[in-house]
Amino acid sequence: MKISLVQPDNSWEDKSGNFQILTRLITPLFKKTDIVILPEMFNTGFSMNPVKLCESQEGETFQWMKSIAVMGNFGLCGSYIVEENGKFYNRWIFVSETNEVWHYDKRHLFSMGGEDTLFSAGNSRLIFSYRGVKISPYICYDLRFPVWSRNREKTDLIIYASNWPETRRNVWTTLLRARAIENQCYVAGSNRIGTDGSGIRYCGDSMVINARGEIIASDETGVECSLSADISLTELSAFRFKFPVLDDADDFSIHF
């Protein structure tokens, strides 16, 4: 499978502008990849203004995603602000070229930025299969919590859609590699660049990492671009068979 990560310089709280930016970056990937991965809140930037920016799950952002997925013949994913039953969610959506849809609500809300006071946290993990690959998605701050990201069902690919600040760049790269090593799977982290409306700077560092913790593809720091990498289930299975770490993992579960 070929996966592609898009690293945009988002326009602050400007959905139409971001659709134009992302379409420009995604169009060269049409019919050349299996999955396109977008950052967290790719249509607005990491905004704490959900009343103004929210929409239904199948609102304008979803419709844009669906049209791009069909034209590109791939799965398209990323998070945006969804209102449901009077609550706001930082929701990750995956839509396929055949209109299959999966979603995940961010579990760990960033309290230092006030996200926990405005949004509702998710309480369930998502694992689904697309084109033969088992995928588990998470959003930004989730990366810091290894128990939540734990690979219990032999997930092949973990995705982190993020708006991760430049000041914590070392944490981003370190934890992405740690999640790949401890979970014996591929990890893809998609991040933005530029400066948002709150003055926070982002440097990108989007990357794909294999189960050994090796970076197999990475975007240029601070540059708006996309990257692609091939992931091999044959190689992953062979490594797990040779070095079966997950067979010795502790057995425990999370209680809410």
The closest of 66, 74, 91, 24 to 226, measured between CA atoms, is 24
CA angle 185, 187, 45 (to 5 degrees): 155
Which distant-in-sequence residues (6+ apart) come within 8 Å of 249 by Cβ?
150, 152
Structure-block tokens of residue 72:
């590109």
Which distant-in-sequence residues (6+ apart) come within 8 Å of 25 by Cβ?
6, 8, 224, 225, 226
For the chain, percent helix, then strand, then coil, each to nearest 5? 30, 30, 40
How does 88-108 read in b/e, with b if 16+ C-beta sit within 10 Å? bbbbbbbbbbeeeebbbbbbb
Whole-angstrom distance between the N-terminal and C-terminal Cα of the chain?
35
- Residues with a catalytic annotation lie at 40, 106, 140
Counting Cα atoms < 13 Å in the Cβ hemisphere of 251 gives 1
List the alpha helices (DSSP H) in 152-207: 169-183
Compute the residue count for the chain. 256
CA distances, 100 to each of 75, 132, 188 (Å): 9, 14, 21
User: Which residue type, as a one-letter code, is found at position 71?
Assistant: M
